[in-house]
Structure 1
Amino acid sequence: MWKLLYNIGLLFATPVIVGVLLAKPRCRPGFFQRMGRQRRSSDGGGTLQPLIWVHAVSLGEVVAAAPLVKALHERHPEFRYIVTTVTETGREAVEQRLGGIAEHRYAPLDFPWAVAGVVRRLRPMLYVFVETEIWPNLLWTLRDQDVPSVLVNGRLSSRSFRRQDLPVIRSFYRSVLQTLTLCLMQSQRDGDRLVALGADSARVHVTGNIKFDQPLPSVRSDELFRRSVGIDEHEQLILAGSTHPGEEELLVSAYRRIVKTHPSAVLMLAPRHIERADRVEATLREAEFVVQRRSRIREKQSGPRVIILDTRGELSRAYREAVVAFVGGTLVPVGGHNLLEPAVWGTPVLFGPHTDHCAEVATLLSEAGGGRRVAGVEDLVATLEEWLGQPEIRYRVGQSARQAVLDNQGALTRSLELIETCLRPDHSYSDSCAATGPGPLMAKT
Structure 2
Amino acid sequence: MDHKAKHILIVGGGYVGLYTGLRLQRALRRELKSGSVRITVIDPQSYMTYQPFLPEAAAGNLSPRHVVTPLRRVLSKVRIRNGKVTKVHHANRSVTFEPNAGPSEEIEYDVIVMAAGSISRTLPIPGLADAAIGFKSVGEAIALRNRVLALLDRADSTDDEEVRRRALTFVVVGAGFAGVEALAELEDMARDAVKYYDRLSEKDLRWVLVEASDRILPEVGPEMGRWTLEELRERGIEVKMKTLLKSCEGGHVVLSDGDAFESATIVWTAGVKPSPVVNAGDLPLDERGRIMTTTKLTVSGTNGAFAAGDVAGVPDVTNPGQYCAPNAQHAVRQAKVLADNIVRHLQDRPLREYRHKYAGSVAGLGLHKGVANVYGVKLHGLPAWFMHRTYHLSRVPTVNRKVRVVADWTLALFFKRETVSLGEIESPRDDFRAAAATG
Q: TM-score, normalised by structure 1?
A: 0.28
Bigger proportion of residues as strand: 2
Instruction: Name the TM-score, length of structure 2 as normaliser.
Output: 0.28
